[in-house]
Amino acid sequence: MELQTWIAYFVASWAIALSPGSGAVLSMSHGLAYGVKKTTATIFGLQLGLSVILLVAGMGVGALLLASATAFLVVKVLGAGYLIWLGWSQWRAPVAAQTDATLLPNADLSVRQRVTRGFITNVTNPKGIVFMVAVLPQFIDPQRPMGLQLLILLVTTVAVDLVVMHGYAWLASSLQAWMRGARARLLQNRVFGGVLMAMGASLLMVRRGASAAA
């Protein structure tokens, strides 16, 4: 891969990661609830899902999903349904006033559960598949080894997204001191739950062959 090609992809990766999406919303939600350190588990799951999408798109399977109406519909419905369920769960989450700095409204979620939520959120996002299928071919040289190029793109994408998602989590966690009351936490659940449900509903509008940021 030529250096200028990598630089172009590096810039594109920042634009993709900074674009608000379900991963950013989940990072902020868990950052506000758990703090940055514990949200790393969620972000790790997001990167696993992002890696699967990139590899699927890079190896051509993503193009097959876009070519198959049934396969694409299944992925789209699963992704939309999961985000709507996730949002509804947060919307209905019980709240109680916090008197310390832990602020863990969803303390029952284990590390494995947070990783799983992050993974499923990204891996079932059809917008991510559409976007990667549209973008990756522009940065892959068919005359060079495919495996090495995909590895470089994968490492670049994940590294950038790790920084950005932790940034979102940090921004949200900085609001913890103002979100200890039951009313404030109820507002938090309504806002993040509503946004996740809205994003889930918007996935149902994604069409094959249309590109959108993940």
Residue range 17-35: average pLDDT?
83
> What is the token pair recorded at 184?
């404030």
The predicted-structure confidence for 100-152, as pLDDT tens digits, reads as follows 333 344 456 789 999 999 999 888 877 677 777 767 767 777 677 878 888 99
Nearest to 2 by CA among 135, 144, 132: 144
Burial of 100: CB neighbours in 10 Å, binned 0-12, 13-18, 19+: exposed
Using CA atoms, how far apart are residues 144 and 166, in angstroms rounded to an integer? 34
The pTM assigned to this predicted structure is 0.69
The predicted-structure confidence for 154-173, as pLDDT tens digits, reads as follows 999 999 999 999 998 998 88
Q: Which amino acid is at 137?
A: P
Using CA atoms, how far apart are residues 45 and 49, in angstroms rounded to an integer? 6
The answer on pLDDT for 214 being more than 50 is no
Q: Which residues contact 116 (CB under 8 A, 6 or more apart)?
A: 45
Question: Is the separation of the CB atoms in 32 and 90 below 8 Å?
Answer: no
Q: What is the DSSP string of 39-54?
A: HHHHHHHHHHHHHHHH
pLDDT of residue 208: 58
Write the CA distances from 165 to 38, 62, 69, 107, integer angstroms: 13, 24, 32, 21
Q: Which residues contact 60 (CB under 8 A, 6 or more apart)?
A: none
The answer on pLDDT for 206 being more than 70 is no
The predicted-structure confidence for 50-78, as pLDDT tens digits, reads as follows 999 888 877 776 566 656 777 667 767 77
User: Which one is predicted more confidently, 188 or 27?
Assistant: 27
Token pair 């810039």 is at which residue?
A: 11
